[in-house]
Chains A and B, each alone.
Chain A
Amino acid sequence: DGGITQSPKYLFRKEGQNVTLSCEQNLNHDAMYWYRQDPGQGLRLIYYSQIVNDFQKGDIAEGYSVSREKKESFPLTVTSAQKNPTAFYLCASGDAGFNEQFFGPGTRLTVL
């Protein structure tokens, strides 16, 4: 099946710990994105990457880091510097040069 997978579905973290969220796609898309969604709110862009080994900050990048070593993978690390990390995290991908973005199922992160 083609698509975007995110793991884990639920993640719990203690304060002060870093945690990495996985995002994999087999759609051969060049561009990948990470969004954060808080209850009752819209999606806010954290980081995006349009090509391997390159990525740009989005609107709320502070406290997050990413890497793009492979075309199909775009992991997101939530660091201890992120003051309010509890949220629903969504990964998306799309063809570079086209606007359509397709979303994964999301990871719900809860800080205990």
Chain B
Amino acid sequence: QQQVKQSPQSLIVQKGGISIINCAYENTAFDYFPWYQQFPGKGPALLIAIRPDVSEKKEGRFTISFNKSAKQFSLHIMDSQPGDSATYFCAASWAAGNKLTFGGGTRVLVKP
């Protein structure tokens, strides 16, 4: 059972544009929602994370929007740069288990 669904699988954006990646979850016990960035051949790196008590969190050009009632959260990459070209994964976990359940990933290509 896939508990975190991520879309789209890939997207192409022009330099300076906005990249938007969406995730939906099923388990209402989830209370921690991180986003990871992965470059080819490397391990994922934590980018930004949010908890359900806030609806939005911003760090630099990266923003997470969270909709608890819809059980959805999204990553917005503002002013996208070629260096942002990578695969992005959303994930979710709950405090008790500490296990992360990952979405399927989105490959982002930023064209110069």
Contacting residues, chain B, for A42 (C-beta < 8 A): 6, 89, 102-105
Q: With A31-B98, A50-B98 in contact, do A103 and B105 touch (Cβ < 8 Å)? A: no
B102 and A105 contact, CB distance less than 8 A = no
B43 and A103 contact, CB distance less than 8 A = yes
Among B44-52, B60-68, B71-79, the one that faces the other chain is: B44-52
Of the candidates A98, A99, A103, which one forms a contact with B45 in the assembled complex, judged by CB atoms under 8 Å apart? A103
Asked whether any CB of chain B lies closer than 8 Å to the CB of A41, the reply is yes
The complex places the Cα of A35 from the Cα of B44 at a distance, in Å, of 11
A41 to chain B, nearest CB (A): 6
Interface residues on B, range: 20 to 34
Q: With A41-B105, A99-B93, A99-B95 in contact, do A106 and B42 touch (Cβ < 8 Å)? A: yes
A97 to chain B, nearest CB (A): 8
Contacting residues, chain A, for B46 (C-beta < 8 A): 100-102
B103 to chain A, nearest CB (A): 6
A43 and B98 contact, CB distance less than 8 A = no
Interface residues on A, range: 20 to 34
Of the candidates B34, B44, B101, B104, which one forms a contact with A41 in the assembled complex, judged by CB atoms under 8 Å apart? B104
Contacting residues, chain A, for B36 (C-beta < 8 A): 103
- For the complex of A and B, the 10 pairs showing the least CB-CB separation, nearest first, are A103-B43, A99-B32, A42-B102, A43-B102, A42-B104, A103-B44, A105-B43, A106-B43, A99-B93, A42-B105
Within 8 A of A (CB), among B6-33: 6, 9, 32
The complex places the Cα of A103 from the Cα of B36 at a distance, in Å, of 10
Contacting residues, chain B, for A50 (C-beta < 8 A): 98
Asked whether any CB of chain B lies closer than 8 Å to the CB of A16, the reply is no
Within 8 A of B (CB), among A81-96: 90, 92, 94, 96
Asked whether any CB of chain A lies closer than 8 Å to the CB of B54, the reply is no
Asked whether any CB of chain B lies closer than 8 Å to the CB of A64, the reply is no
Of the candidates A40, A94, A106, which one forms a contact with B105 in the assembled complex, judged by CB atoms under 8 Å apart? A40
Residue of B nearest to A98 (CB): B98
A106 and B41 contact, CB distance less than 8 A = yes
B34 and A100 contact, CB distance less than 8 A = yes
